[in-house]
């Protein structure tokens, strides 16, 4: 429904109750109360201080997002505890001369005055521009894009993947280039969008303590969204997001926290964290968390070229077990018996079955697992024995990884590619067929992206090949940056982009290394020098 002219963006609860409380009905009410238009919003400051975003593109639609928060670091974002209506416009052009959709959406205090608009009747493979209006205020304009139709033969997709943006450690400088790259059609965020801790390094966390309550998580998300480059990257492209641990609590596994707290303490905190996450992301209303449950895993298709399986490796996983055992206790593979237990799960049965079904039936050229923690093994024991890190990644969930790998082989899943965050390092790993034979022919390829800012400007910086005990690992590097992927039917190319510094608000990115995977042949090859 189109709405034109000045109208009151403020809808009292009483008015809504009078109309049965349905917002669809209230859109008409907004038009009807237009003669009571407020000349100025009921607060000072920019209501769109957190910018705009879009995400979860389908061939016919996309989700548009904003949040009214003139004072993001204050409780309630500086908004009154009232109900508002916000207008939106969608146009074919960035000058908004050809507006194709207008409407209004609700902003309620129970949802931190976040606004989401779900468009479901757009054209496939199409660029759109959008903006929000509240009183006399107009938001920055965003650009977004729908996916191609499922059956379309897509010749190319360029997307960026990112992870781990610790606000105190530096500016989110790598997003400057992500935002400016007009050929990028989507951004995939693999988690650690916020950090929950009390950190104070280069910048200062708000509040300056670990966060627990819904208000805490909202303020933290609000603070992160004040970063200008993060805002610019959201404005420029549609995003697909998933979380890792720090959106809630470091290294959590389902409701198990370290140090241990009873589930009745962990559950309401997780509910707060998940709720604030949903409020701040361009995710569909149907995904709104139910208490401490949030079905975040989902799937996206870009024509026949690529399918993204966006995974949640936190909410359903078994608790981590100590990966350290005495040499006498180690199995012949070097793994401790505990991590090999058959019943350990990273994904939970339901999500795993959902993924297995897809891997058996997909017809996409490239099949992506967009997920959190390192998938391929990494022997980090410098001696002759093998050792496998903290147990937080897939080396702590060996049996379930084996199920996925065996299934990919058995079902001949076309070109499985794993993209991963979490480690704050760039890695290229050919995924071996099991946890023993690292030099066997790979069954998948893993690209792990470094952090946007977490760790700051590390010194010394290094780029190395881990060596003989990890023959399947082609590169490790500790610069900050992001990964730019170019997909064609014949080739997947991952270019690792490193930023000069995250301690300056603006800094150039340059190419660190480029690796390619050829259709039909798992494993990466270095491109160029």
**C-beta of 413 vs 454, nearer to Fe ion:** 454
Q: Sign of the CA dihedral 394, 399, 400, 402?
A: positive
Site track for Fe ion across 399-438, x = CB under 5 A: ----------------------------------------
Q: How far is CA 22 from the centre of its chain?
A: 31
Least Å distance, CB 168 to Fe ion, is 13
User: Could you give the string, one character per residue 136-165, with x where binding to Fe ion holds by CB under 5 A and - elsewhere?
Assistant: ----------------------------x-
Angle at 416 between CA 414 and CA 422, to 5 degrees: 165
186-189 and 157-162 strand pairing: parallel
Residue nearer to Fe ion on the CB measure, 231 or 454: 454
Q: Provide Rg for the chain, Cα atoms.
A: 23
CA-based nearest residue to 377, from 409, 340, 326, 414: 340
Closest to Fe ion by CB, 192 vs 216, is: 192
Considering beta carbons, is residue 164 or 276 the nearer one to Fe ion?
164
Question: Hey, CA dihedral for 132, 133, 137, 138, is it positive or negative?
Answer: positive
Min CB(164)–Fe ion separation in Å: 3
d(CA 182, CA 188): 16
Query: In angstroms, what is the minimal distance from the CB of 451 to Fe ion?
Result: 6
Give 218 or 480: the residue with its C-beta nearer to Fe ion: 480
Longest Cα pair distance anywhere in the chain, in angstroms?
Answer: 81
Q: Does 495 bind Fe ion (CB under 5 A)?
A: no
Nearer residue to Fe ion within complex by CB, 269 or 480: 480
Strands 238-241 and 52-55: parallel
Site for Fe ion in 52-91 (CB under 5 A): none
- Which among 74-82, 224-232, 350-358, 446-454 is the span making contact with Fe ion, rule CB under 5 A? 446-454
**CB of residue 261 to Fe ion, shortest distance in Å:** 22
Which residues does 14 contact at the CB level (< 8 Å), separation at least 6? none
Q: Tell me whether residue 154 or residue 273 sits nearer to Fe ion (CB atom).
A: 273
Site string for Fe ion, 279-308 (x = CB under 5 A): ------------------------------
Alpha-carbon distance of 368 to 243, in angstroms, equals 16
Q: Which of residues 175-204 bind Fe ion (CB under 5 A)?
A: 192
Beta strands 473-477 and 463-464, pairing class? antiparallel
CB of 191 to Fe ion, least distance (A): 7
What is the spatial distance between Cα 148 and Cα 420, in angstroms, rounded to a whole number? 25
Q: Which is nearer to Fe ion, 8 or 422 (CB)?
A: 422
Question: Which string of DSSP letters, residue by residue, matches 78-135?
Answer: G--SS-EEEEEEEESSTT-SSEEEEEEEEE-GGGTTEEEEEE-S--TT-EEEEEEEET
Burial class (CB in 10 A: 0-12, 13-18, 19+), 259: exposed
Of the pair 377, 455, the CB lying nearest Fe ion is at: 455
Minimum distance of Fe ion from residue 253's CB (angstroms)? 16
Cβ of residue 393: shortest distance to Fe ion, in angstroms?
12
CB of 456 to Fe ion, least distance (A): 13
User: Both ends of the chain: CA-CA distance in Å?
Assistant: 56
Contact 245, 314 (CB under 8 A): yes
CB contact burial 73-82 (16+ within 10 A = b; e otherwise): eeebbbbeee
DSSP assignments along 284-299, one per residue: -GGG--BTTB----EE
- Of 177 and 192, the one with the shorter C-beta distance to Fe ion is 192
Rounded Cα distance between 17 and 8, Å, is 17
Point out which span in 234-242, 289-297, 451-459, 482-490 binds Fe ion (CB under 5 A).
451-459
Cβ at position 444, least distance to Fe ion in Å: 23
In angstroms, give the least distance from the CB of 29 to Fe ion.
45
Least CB distance to Fe ion at residue 371 (A): 14
- Nearest to 104, CA basis, from 122, 84, 76: 84
Task: Name which of 105 and 164 has its Cβ closer to Fe ion.
Answer: 164
Between 8 and 192, whose beta carbon lies closer to Fe ion? 192
- Window contacting Fe ion (CB under 5 A); options: 130-138, 304-312, 313-321, 447-455: 447-455
Rounded to whole angstroms, the Cα distance separating 61 from 382 reads 50
Minimal distance, residue 186 CB to Fe ion, in Å: 21
Task: Give CA–CA dist 128/359, Å, rounded.
Answer: 32
Q: Which residues bind Fe ion (CB under 5 A)?
A: 164, 192, 454
């Amino acid at each position: 429904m189109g709405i034109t002219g000045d109208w009151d963006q403020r809808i009292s609860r009483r008015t809504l109750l009078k109309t049965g409380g349905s917002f669809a009905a209230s859109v008409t009410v907004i038009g009807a109360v237009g003669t009571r238009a407020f000349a100025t919003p009921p607060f000072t400051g920019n209501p769109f201080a957190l910018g705009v975003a879009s995400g979860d593109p389908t061939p016919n639609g996309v989700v548009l997002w904003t949040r009214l928060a003139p004072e993001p670091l204050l409780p309630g974002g500086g908004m009154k505890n009232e109900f508002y209506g916000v207008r939106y416009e969608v146009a074919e052009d960035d000058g908004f001369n050809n507006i194709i959709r207008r409407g209004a959406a609700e902003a309620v205090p129970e949802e931190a005055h976040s606004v989401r608009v779900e468009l479901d009747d757009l054209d496939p493979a199409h660029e759109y521009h959008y903006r929000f209006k509240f009183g006399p205020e107009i938001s920055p304009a965003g650009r977004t894009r729908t996916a191609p139709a499922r059956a379309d033969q897509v010749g190319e997709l360029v997307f960026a993947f990112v992870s781990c943006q610790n606000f105190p450690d530096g500016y989110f400088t790598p997003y400057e280039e992500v935002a400016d790259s007009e050929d990028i059609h989507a951004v995939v965020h693999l988690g650690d969008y916020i950090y929950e801790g009390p950190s104070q390094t280069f910048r200062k966390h708000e509040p300056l303590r670990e966060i627990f309550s819904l208000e805490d998580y909202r303020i933290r998300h609000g603070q992160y969204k004040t970063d200008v480059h993060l805002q610019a990257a959201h404005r420029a492209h549609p995003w697909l997001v998933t979380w890792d641990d720090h959106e809630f609590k470091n290294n959590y596994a389902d409701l198990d926290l370290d140090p241990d707290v009873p589930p009745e303490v962990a559950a309401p905190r997780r509910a707060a964290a998940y709720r604030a996450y949903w409020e701040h992301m361009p995710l569909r209303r149907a995904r709104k968390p139910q208490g401490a449950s949030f079905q975040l895993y989902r799937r996206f298709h870009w024509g026949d070229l690529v399918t993204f399986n966006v995974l949640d490796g936190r909410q359903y996983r078994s608790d981590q077990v100590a990966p350290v055992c005495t040499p006498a206790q180690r199995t012949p593979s070097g793994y401790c018996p505990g991590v090999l237990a058959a019943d350990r799960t990273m994904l939970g049965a339901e999500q795993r079955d959902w993924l297995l079904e897809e891997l058996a039936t997909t017809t996409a050229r490239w099949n992506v697992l967009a997920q959190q923690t390192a998938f391929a093994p990494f022997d980090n024991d410098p001696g002759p024995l093998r050792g496998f890190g903290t147990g937080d990644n897939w080396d702590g969930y060996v049996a379930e990884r084996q199920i996925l790998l065996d299934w990919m082989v058995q079902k001949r899943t076309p070109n499985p590619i794993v993209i991963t965050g979490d480690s704050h390092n760039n890695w290229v790993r050919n995924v071996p067929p099991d946890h023993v034979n690292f030099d066997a022919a790979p069954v998948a390829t893993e690209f792990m992206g470094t952090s946007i800012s977490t760790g700051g400007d590390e010194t010394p910086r290094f780029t190395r090949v881990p060596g003989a005990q990890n023959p399947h690992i082609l590169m490790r590097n500790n610069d900050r940056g992001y990964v730019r992927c170019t997909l064609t039917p014949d080739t997947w190319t991952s270019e690792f982009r490193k930023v000069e510094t995250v301690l300056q608000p603006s800094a150039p990115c340059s190419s660190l290394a480029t690796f390619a995977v050829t259709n039909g042949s798992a494993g990466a090859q270095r491109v160029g020098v």
